Amino acid sequence: MYPFIHIGHFEIGTFGLMLWLAAVSGCWVLYKNFQRKGVEADAINITALATVAGIVGAKLWHVLESPHMLMQHPLSLLLDRAGFAWFGGLVGAILVLMWQGRVAKVGALGMLDLAAPAAAVGYGVGRLGCLLSGDGDYGTATSLPWGVSFPNGLVPTTQHVHPTPVYELIAAFLIAAYLWRRARVDKPLGQITGEYLVWTGLARFLVEFIRINPRIYFGMSNAQIASIGSMIVGAGLIAWAQRHASTRTQARSHKPAAHTVSG
């Protein structure tokens, strides 16, 4: 794999390059969703802010997972090019998108619904950066014909291992296609976001079984615990969205009709 591309005296990290491509891909999907929903908002600005918040959140979540290491080597850990936690990035991006939803006058949940397919696409493309850099996000050893090794990766291995970033790319694109199709017809506010959290959480929970991340709680990794949380929040949001939509429908049906008086 190729952690860095060398052009003369310049060195470009492939992870950062793919992160940029992930932002561009997500921005395009968000822009197309704005178009089909008739939303007048700046997709580029929204994507840029969400990407920065996602990177900061992912790094902070990662370093806070190892507080003892942070206390011993704070600068090296914070400035390390590797080490980003998926759930921290998700939380950071969600908070900024909710704020941007209020600015764009589509509401916090409205913006999250619009951004869900874009987030899935961006996440999948970003995982290619992990594959190219060999940053340790690969899986356990395998004898399957598509197993790969990372002798020159940031976290090198000569074993043939599961290319879990590719698995996550495929899952992310399937989730994005599903959400895009689901959102063609208006759904209750928050439902698309809830479905995104459920399906993305499930995909990450399952892939962790063949990832090399350490098992910490009940034989599960930190990412699996976060995935369970994502699925619970997503299921709760779906239930809330459907109940809220049902309540509004009933309220409209019981609203007395306006009477006109002639004379």
pLDDT given at position 7: 81
pLDDT given at position 262: 46
| Res. 148: pLDDT tops 60 | yes
pLDDT average, residue stretch 56-78: 60
| Res. 29: pLDDT tops 70 | yes
The token pair that represents 195 in the structure block: 């479905």
pLDDT average, residue stretch 154-169: 93
Residue 68: pLDDT band with limits 50, 70, 90: low
Write out pLDDT tens, residues 80-130: 555 567 677 888 899 999 999 999 999 999 999 999 999 999 999 999 988
| Res. 203: pLDDT tops 90 | yes
Contact between residue 180 and residue 236 where contact means Cβ atoms under 8 Å apart: no
pLDDT average, residue stretch 215-240: 92
pLDDT given at position 244: 86
Residue 263: pLDDT band with limits 50, 70, 90: very low
Give the single-character DSSP code of 65.
Answer: T
pLDDT given at position 119: 94
One-letter amino acid for residue 152 of the chain: N
Contact between residue 61 and residue 88 where contact means Cβ atoms under 8 Å apart: yes
| Res. 69: pLDDT tops 60 | no
Q: Which helix (H) or strand (E) holds 9?
A: none
Contact between residue 48 and residue 147 where contact means Cβ atoms under 8 Å apart: no
- More confident of the two residues 5 and 46: 46
Range of weakest confidence among 59-68, 138-147, 193-202, 226-235: 59-68
HEC secondary structure over 115-160: HHHHHHHHHHHHHHHHHHHCCCCCECECCCCCCEEECCCCCCEEEE
One-letter amino acid for residue 127 of the chain: R
Contact between residue 98 and residue 119 where contact means Cβ atoms under 8 Å apart: no
Range of weakest confidence among 60-64, 207-211, 238-242: 60-64
Range of weakest confidence among 40-44, 60-64, 167-171, 201-205: 60-64
Instruction: For tokens 């493309």, name the residue.
Output: 125
Q: What are phi and psi of 7, to 5 degrees?
A: -125, 100
- More confident of the two residues 224 and 214: 224
The DSSP code sequence of 182-221 is HTTS---TTHHHHHHHHHHHHHHHHHGGGB-PPP-BTTB-
- The mean pLDDT of the chain is 86
